Amino acid sequence: MLSNILLGMEHAFQISNLLIAFFGVALGICFGALPGLSASMGVAVLIPMTYGMDPVPGLIMLAGVYCGATYGGSISAVLINTPGTPANAATALDGYAMTQKGQAKEALTESIIASFWGGLLSAFALLFLAPPLATLSLRFGPQENALLGIFGLSIIASLSSKSLLKGLLGGLIGLLIGCIGMDPQVGFPRYTFGVMNLLTGVPLVPALIGLYSISQVITLVSSEAKYIVNEEALKSMKEKKLSLKDFLYYPRIYLMSGIIGIIVGIIPGAGGNIASFISYNEAKRLSKTPEMFGHGSREGVAASEAGNNGVTGGALIPMLTLGIPGNAVTAILLGGLMIQGLYPGNDLFTVRAHITYPFIIGFFVANIAMLLLGLFCSGWFARVVKAPANFLATGILVLTVIGAFAINNTLLDVYIMLAFGVIGYVLKLMDFDATPIVLGMILGPIAEKGLMQTIVIQRGLVPGVLSMFSRPICLVLMLLTVISLVTPFFQVRKEKKANQN
């Protein structure tokens, strides 16, 4: 493992890769700082750019975008009380209160330092937890793969906070889209309508760009707003000298929130917003001044930001090892891996170690780049929120068109992207979330392949299902699936009870 880490450092510390990490982080911060745009949109738009690059710099850039966007959301949360991404909602509680007190620069400094510690801890978790977990994937047969796919799909239940029914329906739409193309058993074409390009299925990345980016651009265009936000708060940013003490203001909170973020990140379905609120609550519970929380507590900003950045590396662990994308960004990143010909599992950490370890070390680099850019350029990034909506929307549209084209050098992918954009927007109007659809598209074929192989090997559906009960990993996966499916119902009941009280 040490040799792999050294190999990773050798690649990741090349000047070109360092520059790419900075570039990715800077882009990510811009995407994160703009309310309405998100980490998922940033990664989706930029994936096609990485196709023309070598895998290592391409993946490092995506890691940078992911880290940068997760932090970037705190800039608008602190300055204008509008979280750039849902994961920064808890930051706004105290960050904006600090801005109102004239402590905007202090809040921004705390948010970047806490983000850095959270991100760094999660990078360590990724480096040391992912390889042993990946070896577990070697014991996976068809039964385990089928149940792994089903377990991944069960995440949809916990992702559907607005409506469980719509979440499940979205998942089924994704599964149906996943059926398009040749079936995994005998290669019979399904729902291709004679289009040759669809034989290998709906191209994932154009579909992702459409669902996450085009639908958002349509929302932006139809909002009739001249700017995404038009606030005077940016003028109130006063310079504050950075001291060494700032780097470790709340070590206990960074550690605790970072660990919470990592654990939440590993659990599929739970995202940065959950991690930041749990971290915020825990920090408040343990604080000597809990009454300050919500009224401009620097501790609150630290807890929330360390928590949501802790998720970044944590969420990559199940994605890289088992192929379960825990949230929207990792689902899109999985697409980014696939277009580079990389597939999750033990091979990533053995045969493809020369790509995976530089990527993981690149994750460390991205966090350092995020710290430097956040500390010294947060004022510039803050101005991004004043970007005119018309230029922003049209610019993203043009970028998505060339991005979708660049994957296979065909305009068909662009049309597919536009079609998915319209589908995504219509579903958004109906309060459907795009993530269950994406999970269905990615995990459906895995589940189907495993299930069909099980049926063939065990000579029937019933013997196939029964064989799953004699395999320990299958039993664990079944248990996890049941927990994943049942938990949201308990949560809804708990919330109802709390509301009644």
Partner 1 sequence: MYKKNIIGSVAFIFLFAAAFFMSGSFPAMVDIYPKIICVMGIILSACLLGQTVYQKKHNIENEKKLSRKQIITIAVTLAGTLVYVMLIPVVGYMTMTFIFLLTMTFYVDPTSPKIAYPLVGIAFIVLLYLAFGVFLKIPLPKGILI
Binding residues for partner 1, rule: CB under 8 A, are 49, 51-53, 165-166, 168-169, 172-173, 175-176, 179, 183, 185-186, 188, 190-191, 217-218, 221-222, 224, 226, 388-391, 393-395, 397-399, 401-402, 405-406, 409, 411, 414-415, 418, 422, 425, 429-431, 444, 448, 451-452, 455
The span from the CA of 336 to the CA of 458, in Å, is: 35
Q: How far is CA 290 from CA 74, 259, 284, 295, 382, in A?
A: 21, 21, 5, 10, 29
The span from the CA of 491 to the CA of 4, in Å, is: 42
For the bound state, the minimum distance from the C-beta of residue 314 to partner 1, rounded and expressed in Å, comes to 31
Instruction: Of 354, 322, 328, 327, give the one whose Cα is nearest residue 340.
Output: 354
For the bound state, the minimum distance from the C-beta of residue 71 to partner 1, rounded and expressed in Å, comes to 24
For the bound state, the minimum distance from the C-beta of residue 356 to partner 1, rounded and expressed in Å, comes to 23
Question: Which CB atom, from 242 or from 429, has the smaller least distance to partner 1?
Answer: 429
Question: Which CB atom, from 101 or from 496, has the smaller least distance to partner 1?
Answer: 496
β-sheet bridge partners, residue 388: 227
For the bound state, the minimum distance from the C-beta of residue 47 to partner 1, rounded and expressed in Å, comes to 12
Question: Which CB atom, from 72 or from 403, has the smaller least distance to partner 1?
Answer: 403
Question: Any residues with CB less than 8 A from the CB of 224 and at least 6 apart, and which?
Answer: none
Question: Which CB atom, from 49 or from 136, has the smaller least distance to partner 1?
Answer: 49
For the bound state, the minimum distance from the C-beta of residue 499 to partner 1, rounded and expressed in Å, comes to 15
Instruction: Of 85, 86, 111, give the one whose Cα is nearest residue 96.
Output: 111
Determine contact, residues 67/366, Cβ cutoff 8 Å: yes
The span from the CA of 434 to the CA of 431, in Å, is: 10
Question: Which CB atom, from 5 or from 179, has the smaller least distance to partner 1?
Answer: 179
For the bound state, the minimum distance from the C-beta of residue 433 to partner 1, rounded and expressed in Å, comes to 14
In our burial notation (b when 16+ CB lie closer than 10 A, e otherwise), range 407-431 reads: bbeeebbbebbbebbebbbebbeee
Ramachandran angles phi, psi of 195, nearest 5°: -80, 115
Question: Which CB atom, from 218 or from 302, has the smaller least distance to partner 1?
Answer: 218
In our burial notation (b when 16+ CB lie closer than 10 A, e otherwise), range 380-391 reads: ebbebbebebee
Helix (H, G, I), strand (E, B) or coil at 439: helix
For the bound state, the minimum distance from the C-beta of residue 455 to partner 1, rounded and expressed in Å, comes to 8
Question: Which CB atom, from 321 or from 435, has the smaller least distance to partner 1?
Answer: 435
